[in-house]
Structure formats: C-alpha cells, structure tokens
Amino acid sequence: MVFGSRLSNSFGGGTSAPGGPPPERPAWFSSDRDYEAFLKTTKMDLGPQSITSTSIDVDHLDENGRRTLLGGYALQSTLEFVSRMFAQLDDAALNSRTNAWEKTLVSMLTGEFSSKVIESVSKGNVLLPPAAVTQLIREAIEWCSITDAATTGTGNTIPIFGIDDFVLLMLSINGDQERQDLPDFFRTWPPTQDDLERYNAAMAVDDDMVRDEAQRQMLSDLARMQANATTVPDVLLGDAYDTWFKKWPELAPHDLIGDTAIEAFEQATGVSLTEFIKLGLQLWTRTKTGAVTLNAIDFAQWADSQAVTLMKTAASLTVQEYRKRLKAERKKGLLAHRRYTFAERPLIRFGDDEYVALRPVWVLDRLCGSQLYWQTFFAFGTEKDPRGEQFSLASNYVFEDTIGYLLRRATRRARPTIKLITEREMQQAWKQRGDKPSVCDWVLASGKYCLLVDATNHWLDEKAAQGFADAEDYTADLEDTFVRRKFLQLRSTIELLAQHGWEGRTFDEQTVFVPMVVVPNGGIPPNVLSDVDLKLRSHSVLGELGRFVTSPGILTYSELQVFEGVCEHRGPQLFVEILARWRLMCTGGMPVRPQTFLDISGVDRPVNGQVEVPAGGQVKVPTPC
C-alpha cells in the first residue's frame, strides 16, 4: 500500500504513485466495499492535488535553475510580489475561496504553459500550497539581487518579477517538495509503472516495510499539516485574550513573574504588552490585503516607541542577517516545511526604515498570538532561569484552565444532558488515607457515552513540526508524554468510574468510554497515520480493560473549538455524542481527521460564539478576572 503524501500525488492518467493508495484492493482489506469507503475518506483527508511541472508536462526548474532565474530579479520588488500573493491567498482561504482566487490568478498568465495550468486549476487542483510559497520566499531572499534600483550601475535594466515566472517557480517547488516525500524504494522521479507495481507488491508482504513507510509518511504529514494550516485571525486574537488578559489560574505559581501574564511579558521585555499587540494589529490591518511594504516613519507617529524597538530587534532581520540564517538552515537539509525563522522574524528590513511583511498572518501571530509565549520565555532565560521555569509552568495551568472553561461552557448549554466531573472532585471522592488517585482532568458523561479528557500543553517538537525529525526521537517523546503518562491516567479514571460510579450513575458494560487528550494548536495535529500509531501504542494500556473503550484521540484546541461551535449552534446536547461518534468511526475502521468526519456527517462549521476579539484594531485591556 502507498501512503498519502503532501496534498496528494499529482500524476495524471490514473497512475497510482506515492501520494495516494493503490487503485486495486490490497489483500488485507476484507471487502471491496470496505476499501471503497477507505478510498473515499482518504481522498477527503488528502484534499486536492498539488500541481507540479511533471503533472502538467512542462519543463521543471531544478534548484540551480531557480537560482539563476531569481538572480535576475531585484529582491525587494520580488518579495513584495510574492508576499502580496501570500496575503491574498490567506484571505481567500479564510473564506473557502482558494480555488476561485487561483482561477482568477492564473487567468492572467501569458506564457506557453498557461493553458495547462488553467485547465488543472479548473479541475480543483492546488497551485499555491502555503509550504511551497514559504519556500519561494526563502529562495528569493537567498538568490535575488540586492540591487533595488530600476537599473544597475551599467545601465542594464532589471526586469520586474511577474505572474508567469511566479507560477513557473511554484510548479517546480511543488515538484521538489513532492519528491522530498519519495520513499527510498524509488530511484527515479516520477517513478515508472514498473517501480510502482514492485513497490506495492513489496508492501503487501513486508510488514516491517509497511511500518517504516507509515512512520516516515506520518512525520511528513504532521509537518505538512502544520505548514499548510490556515490561520484564523479572530480565533488567534480570541486565544490571545484568554491567555494574556486574565489572572493566573489559582494553582499557577507566579511569585517571580507578576500577578498576570501581562505583567510577566512586561517584566521580561520591558515593553507594554498592550502597546505591542496594538502595533501588531495595526501592521496586520495595513498589510492583510496585500500592501505588504511598511515604512517605520509612518507608524512611528502613532505606535509606542518601545514596542517599535522590540519589533525591530526581535521580529525583523536585515537582508544580510536573513541570508546568514537561511544559509545555516540549508546546510541541515529538507526545507519543504521549515518556517520557524519566518514565524519568529516575519518582517525583513531594507535600510533603517522600510520593511516588507513576508506574510501578514505571521506578523499577526508574532506580535499578537502564540509567538508572544516564546518572546517572554526566552526573554526570561528559558527554564535555566527560575522566572522562565515558573512562566512555563504557569502557562501550562493557563492552557488547562482554558480547556476547562470551554468544557464548562459546553456543559452549561447542554444541562442536564451532560454531567461534568472535574479532577479535583474525583480526587476528593476517591482519595484513600490522604493519597489522591491518578485521574484525568475532566469527565463528561452523557447517556451511554463517557468522555474522558486530559489537557497537556505539549507542542510538537521543533524538528517534527518542520519535517526533519528523527523517528526514534518522535517515538520516545510520544511514549513518554502520552502512552506512559496521559493514557495511564485515563486508564485509572476508567477503572475508578467502573468501580465507584458517580452520584448514582453507573458505568457498566454498556458504557462507551472515549479517552481524549487536548493539545495546543502547535501540538500533534489530528492525522490518519498518527491516529493509527496511537491506536497501536495505546492497546497495551487501554485495550485490555474488559470495557468498551474507543481508541484514544489527540485533538488540538482549535479542533475542539470547532466541535464546540458546531454544538453551540446545532445541538448543545450533542457535544459528547459527536466527539464519541468521531472516535467510534476511527476505532472501528481507518481513522479520519475531525474535519473529514464532520464533512461525512454533513455538518457545517458555525463560528464559536465565545471567541472574544479586540474590535476595530484597538485592544481594550480588561480588568484581570
């Protein structure tokens, strides 16, 4: 069997290649019907195909070819073009209009390959995966000419970067990123039909090869999903409010870092968090539609000077500084999903006063979103400094408190259908001789379903998130964090509920236990192969309880918010049941991502009404509560 890669394989003619499952049913599927269902859900999970030079039969530019082409263009104007495309792409993605926007874009092509690109986009294929646009930004910074004038010193005109070369470069980068996922089994790209048949034949009989390929593809998919994820500004700002504009949770230690997260940021950086976020909102507002060039003289008139200084020193790099850092990254190999440098430094500086926002949502996240944590953590000196260690621990409590608040909201809407039981209540009820039992953070009981939830503020490792992780390191982290800790807590909770019940409610052989771990948006994203991996690893812990226990699910906070939004508007009493149905589908057959499950179920995605967002580009600092 061939596992999915990138956005899907981009070969024409019905050929099965790395990137999609084989068209014929493998022997390990019990029936054609089961395999047809698997093909359907796999296609939905993989999404549309990416368009490559190979897929539409145009000349492919390898790395040297792209270096030569980009070397003939001026850096600043080229970055302005590419970043403007990125801003418009993100805006289209927010409104589920990516394909319509790409159709409009390619209609402006004039090159000889234009008809092939237009035809492929019209079929729903994707020209601009965010990871590939990110790589083009990287290559432009590395290889474009630093000369910004219309002419060189010799009077030779520097051409203006345009749509035809932009698309040609994207086709080639898409192809190179797809090739990065090529199994070692293949010696050429694209593989021949004979190669494909030998590969599928080998996978049918070699279990070790299947496991190795699944592990390799899983790590690639995790990085791809994070790199291609759509940032939703309202959700990002709502999360910032929940994280920074409230008092620390009761159990969070904070004697070294101040009474609120705002105080911690200001203590660490010397800058007002409110002013820094105001600056970020204004920069995003000015660039989000594609006007990506900024002049410091303009915003210095209304922005806080300390916030501007921090932005300049911590969120931007000069061209030479950028080139130095990217050169070091290139030496480490595999670039397709590397984006941390861009997330940390989303502004490139030309001279003292002019900036280009490489991707406006990166600017928003850097100054208003998740990057604020890292700014504070590193400014405190990381865990090597007692303040950094305390800030990290307090932030873990903030994450747990945020998940608890969501679950309480969902429960209140569904009264009396759902019963919420907290960790503290369970430990108080079941402690023996002063010893508190090991239990999960929350239990939500509804009818025959018992949802067990534990929250862990555990991010996907930097290497795994960027596509160059070692499989052994990833496995060790997964086993330590989830299998030997979280899953054991979930198991203990199931056993105690079965033994003691709760307030007259019994948990017997008819009860469906649904264990789930919620992670941050930077944690392990819901993915088919990672779900299979967890199912196998959890069996020794959760699979022999003599109870009806679904395979455990890992859900990011943003995905949990989607489920909350669905139930808030379409049926509050279904919150536990709809999560249970997703896990039952994943347990009984091949797992599917939450979004695929909702698509199959015919469910829309109404916005969570609890997201609190600063309005009008202004941050109103609430009284900490």
The residue length of the chain stands at: 625
* CA 176/CA 62 separation, integer angstroms: 8
- The reported pLDDT for the residue numbered 197 is 82
Query: Quick one: CA torsion of 341, 347, 353, 354, rounded to 10 degrees?
Result: 120
- The reported pLDDT for the residue numbered 20 is 54
Splitting the chain (625 residues) into consecutive groups of 10 residues, what average pLDDT does each group show?
A: 33 37 62 72 74 93 96 96 97 93 96 93 95 97 80 62 96 91 76 82 81 86 90 92 93 95 97 96 95 90 93 97 95 88 97 94 97 96 95 97 96 95 96 89 97 96 87 90 92 95 93 96 89 88 83 94 92 95 90 90 73 44 37
**Six token digits for residue 450:** 């018992």
Angle at 233 between CA 598 and CA 106, to 5 degrees: 80
Residue 7 near residue 47, CB atoms below 8 Å: yes
**Six token digits for residue 281:** 């909102």
**Six token digits for residue 620:** 């109103």
- The reported pLDDT for the residue numbered 148 is 59
Whole-prediction pTM value?
0.89
Residue holding tokens 């980009």?
70
- The reported pLDDT for the residue numbered 155 is 53
Strands 347-350 and 512-519, sheet pairing? unpaired
* CA 598/CA 574 separation, integer angstroms: 13
Residue 521 near residue 370, CB atoms below 8 Å: yes
CA 8 to chain centre: 18
**Six token digits for residue 609:** 């009404």
Cis peptide before 190 (omega within 30 of 0): yes
* CA 277/CA 363 separation, integer angstroms: 11
**Six token digits for residue 118:** 């237009």
DSSP annotation of 444 reads E
Half-sphere exposure of 431 (CA within 13 A, CB side): 9
Helices (H), 9-71: 32-46, 63-70
CA 162 to chain centre: 30
Buried/exposed code over 71-106 (b: 16+ C-beta within 10 A; e: otherwise): eebbbbbbbbbbbbbbbbbbbbbbeeebbebbeebb
Angle at 432 between CA 428 and CA 435, to 5 degrees: 80
CA end-to-end span of the chain: 54
- The reported pLDDT for the residue numbered 573 is 94
Residue holding tokens 């009761």?
250
Q: Which of 463, 483, 465, 482 is nearest to 473 (CA)?
A: 463
**Six token digits for residue 622:** 């609430």
**Six token digits for residue 246:** 């409230």
